[in-house]
Amino acid sequence: METAIMNEARARDAWCRFPCSDLDKRCRQFSHTHEVAHAVHRGMGGDPKMTRTTRQSLLLLCPKRHQHHRFSVDQKTLKWEALTDEGTDGPIRWWVDVERLPLALREEWMMMPLDGWLLLASESAPHIYLPFTEEQQDILAAIQ
């Protein structure tokens, strides 16, 4: 059952939901190597009670943005939040940990969010991003 729900999320997203730059086109391609990420980690041994594995709490991410980069969900330097009751079936927002950004970038933009997170991108629908600010474009380029 858990695998079936994860496959539904994979089919819904088709490619990485992170707003990849033109420099990283692999992120935008459909790939069997992309991974299904949970909003709340399912823990060792999976999610036998199916409390953390719902299609609305899963995203398809490239391995880089899931866990294999210093700016990734598993490194806790990126996070997302659902913007509607539809969860990840609807639009989401991406946040980046400001403290982990290059110092020169933080100084240029004088980034001082109170909670340590800066809005990186917002979707209007899955895979449809609102226009990026110049600051967001600089951050996306810096974390590739």
pLDDT digits (tens, 9 = 90+) for 46-85: 555 555 678 899 999 988 899 888 999 999 999 999 999 9
φ and ψ at 119, to 5 degrees? -65, 125
Highest mean pLDDT: which range of 25-34, 111-120, 121-130: 121-130
Q: What is the pLDDT of residue 128?
A: 94
Q: Give 114's contacts (C-beta < 8 A, 6+ positions apart).
A: none
Strand segments (E) across the chain: 35-38, 58-61, 78-82, 92-97, 117-125, 128-129
Q: Quick one: what percent of the chain has pLDDT higher than 90?
A: 45
Burial track 15-28 (b if 16+ CB lie within 10 A, e otherwise) = bbbbbbeeeeeebb
* 136-142 mean pLDDT: 90
CA separation, residue 21 to residues 12, 17, 44 (Å): 21, 12, 33
Task: Compute the C-alpha angle 83/85/86, nearest 5°.
Answer: 90
Amino acid occupying residue 46: G
Amino acid occupying residue 123: E
φ and ψ at 63, to 5 degrees? -55, -35
Q: What is the pLDDT of residue 110?
A: 74
